[in-house]
Amino acid sequence: MDTPVTLQTQRLRLRPWLPADAEPFARMNADPEVMAHYPTRLTRAQSDEQMNRLARHITETGWGLWAVEVIDIEPFIGYCGLWPATFDAPFTPAIEIGWRIARPFWGKSYAFEAAEAAMNFGFETLGLAEIVSFTTPANVRSQRLMERLGMSRNPADDFDHPRLPVGHPMRPHVLYRKSRDLS
């Protein structure tokens, strides 16, 4: 077990989860616009369960999908960070970078700022050789963020997400990757 890491950027803190995050997290997970590219919105119970899982990973490893706050402005705007992709796919096991930000906080480059810090942590502190990210083709906002982070997509890497049933409209996924800059 490692000491949980907190990352700080100019405007944001990526930190371990707090009990007070549960309510705004559940609100975000019930928002149809935020959840448009996930199979379902989450009930309060599902949201709490997911929060506990994310919090536990940080407690156990020191890193993960951190709660994001805007310093001195907003105590919780969503999550961002790194997560192990362990399902069966040609590129797994891998470490994924991911994010979910509440709707009022889109369009301010918060997700980018948080993800850049998480990505640097992954390459520099964890020493990862590669970080991946994936989503459905329709999730253009997320793909724009991946591109802003310098990740690139090879259509040959597109895959069907094995945790969604065959025929599910969200099963096809695009994969973006970025390797550590060794220069």
Ligand X SMILES: CC(C)(COP(=O)(O)OP(=O)(O)OC[C@H]1O[C@@H](n2cnc3c(N)ncnc32)[C@H](O)[C@@H]1OP(=O)(O)O)[C@@H](O)C(=O)NCCC(=O)NCCS
Interface map 2-41 toward ligand X (x if CB under 6 A): --------------------------------x--x----
Q: Specify the stretch interacting with ligand X by CB under 6 A; choose among 8-16, 43-51, 82-90, 140-148.
A: 140-148
Of 170, 177, 181, 137, the C-alpha closest to 153 is 177
Q: Specify the stretch interacting with ligand X by CB under 6 A; choose among 7-15, 65-73, 103-111, 162-170.
A: 103-111
Kindly write down the DSSP assignment for every residue of 130-146, as one continuous string.
EEEEEE-TT-HHHHHHH
Three-class SS of 75-124: EEEEEEEEEEECCCCCCCCEEEEEEEECHHHCCCCHHHHHHHHHHHHHHH
From the CB of 153, what's the least distance to ligand X, in Å? 13
Task: Single out the residue of 53, 148, 163, 168 in contact with ligand X (rule: CB under 6 A).
Answer: 148
Whole-angstrom distance, CA of residue 64 vs CA of residue 53: 10
Task: Look at the chain and count its residues.
Answer: 183
User: Given its phi and psi angles, is residue 32 left (phi above 0), alpha (psi -120 to 50 degrees) or beta?
Assistant: alpha
Task: Single out the residue of 8, 84, 104, 108 in contact with ligand X (rule: CB under 6 A).
Answer: 108
Task: Single out the residue of 110, 121, 159, 176 in contact with ligand X (rule: CB under 6 A).
Answer: 110
Encoded tokens for 69 = 């706050």
Q: Pick the closer one to ligand X by CB: 2 or 162.
A: 162
Biggest CA pair distance of the chain = 46
Give 173: exposed, middle or buried? Use CB within 10 Å, 0-12, 13-18, 19+: middle
Task: Single out the residue of 68, 79, 128, 142 in contact with ligand X (rule: CB under 6 A).
Answer: 142
Q: Pick the closer one to ligand X by CB: 84 or 107.
A: 107
Site for ligand X contains 139 (CB under 6 A): yes
From the CB of 179, what's the least distance to ligand X, in Å? 20
Site for ligand X contains 89 (CB under 6 A): no
- Residues in touch with ligand X (CB under 6 A): 34, 37, 99-101, 106-112, 135, 139, 141-142, 144-145, 148
